[in-house]
Copies of this chain bind each other. A is one copy, B any other.
């Protein structure tokens, strides 16, 4: 069997058109080729969108090409090309003047293409009996039925594969985006920042108009709107609160199930409370629980439990309806986000526990002597205020906060009779008193992770001119932390009542500091504490009592 020369050129043409791996390219070239075969005045290539049951114009050429199509999508069930597709015949011809003018499917085709139609031929592209696309050629002049049918059968499997490929590429793009997001969300341990990231990431990942994050109020069981990418939601004076179990989000948080609402108005589960409080029109919702994994806490520790901490809503998908892949992405994301949020909370708790326990213990030590009550805490606040004025970085400030709180820890070992003595100390007793920086450093020396803090303890009685103790360090030999705590300590001592004298006024204390600038204290640090005081960032013991 030999293929005739003329037919061979046709077959080679179609094979060549098929070589592309881009949907748009295949569609454009196929439509052009078909128009040439029939000498049509115009043509449209529709692709089938199975999820929305619509026909989407992918290419329009000839007379129709310059026109802006009135609508780009047609319902399969309610249009002329849809009718051709539904009858499952590859080729259908129409004499438009003979069509039933009463049939709503035929009425608006001329309006749709933007020119008058005498006749039309419609080619259905079916693959394994599934509709993939429709080619419509208007005002044809010849009709090589065999060739047209072959082209439809030739291109349908190619187009089908390209549609799968397009979907796969889209899937890959979204999975890669999820991977980027999952990586990014793990790079902060600030719970508040994580909530913000969750909201932004959910909106981007799902391509929605807004997303909202709800957390469970542990006491009432209600869910409260914590954050929303929709500004009106979160700028409200009162937090939006959804009673336990109410609405889509209440259901999701209670059951741990995922809920899709593609028509919010018609779904009785949609809790309109939020919409009516803010001026927002909810069309569709994808709501998933924020359920954290159980987290293994490490050596000598157990695990945190898997738990639902709240829920996440993606609202109003921009393009089409929420589908199974949206659910999958949103669930993966929400589970990771909830786990990262839990870890951040636990990290914060571990840090807070350390700081709070130190605060309680140093406060207890201060309180042995009623005259030093609250001293360590105030020195810590003053030191942090100074460090902030100096523009130090957050981690350095954190070490200063801890170090200054511990500066007098060595007083644990000073006997009561010296620590609480009403009269003047003997030389010997004073010598014992002066041991407290070194003993404090020794106590803290057992904790290698407090190495940076040790200079606050060891050096807060050193003086710039070398006349301080325990080591008589001079100028820059004293660490910045030591110099800061020295000023904070002196300022609090001067402005508090002591066993042996009344508190100085703030003015007097400032004068005293300034008079010792350069000899005892670092002038730059004195300026910093004065500024912090003037700005109202710190309060002396007496100012606290009054408030």
Instruction: Enumerate chain A interface residues (CB-CB to B < 8 A).
Output: 1-4, 6-8, 10-12, 15, 18-21, 127-128, 144, 146-147, 150, 153-154, 156-158, 160-162, 164-165, 168-169, 171-172, 175-176, 178-179, 182-183, 186-193, 293-303, 332, 335-336, 339-340, 343-344, 346-354, 356-361, 363-365, 367-368, 393-398, 401, 409, 412-413, 415-417, 443-444, 446-450
Contact = CB atoms under 8 A, between A and B. Distances in A.
Q: Pick from A352, A359, A364, A368 the residue with the most CB of B within 10 Å.
A: A364
Given A158-B161, A186-B186, 18 more contacts: A7-B7, A175-B176, A179-B332, A182-B336, A186-B340, A186-B343, A189-B295, A190-B297, A190-B299, A300-B401, A301-B394, A302-B396, A357-B450, A359-B446, A360-B443, A364-B443, A365-B412, A368-B412
A354 B355 CA distance: 8
Given A162-B161, A168-B172, A449-B356, A2 B146 contact: yes
Task: State the majority secondary structure of interface residues on A.
Answer: helix
B127 A19 contact: yes
Contacts of A156: 15, 19
B12 A7 contact: no
A364 B413 contact: yes
A150 B182 CA distance: 49
Contacts of A162: 161
Contacts of A158: 18, 157-158, 161
Given A1-B146, A175-B176, A347 B343 contact: yes
10 contacts: A2-B144, A21-B160, A21-B164, A158-B158, A168-B169, A171-B172, A172-B172, A172-B175, A179-B182, A367-B413
Contacts of A295: 187-189
A144 B8 CA distance: 14
Q: Which of A340, A346, A357, A395 has the most CB of B within 10 A?
A: A357
B298 A348 contact: yes
A444 B398 CA distance: 23
Contacts of A336: 182-183, 186
Given A160-B19, A302-B398, A339 B186 contact: yes
A352 B297 CA distance: 12
Contact of A7 (B1, B301, B335, B361): B1
A360 B302 contact: no
Contact of A164 (B165, B187, B192): B165
B153 A1 contact: no
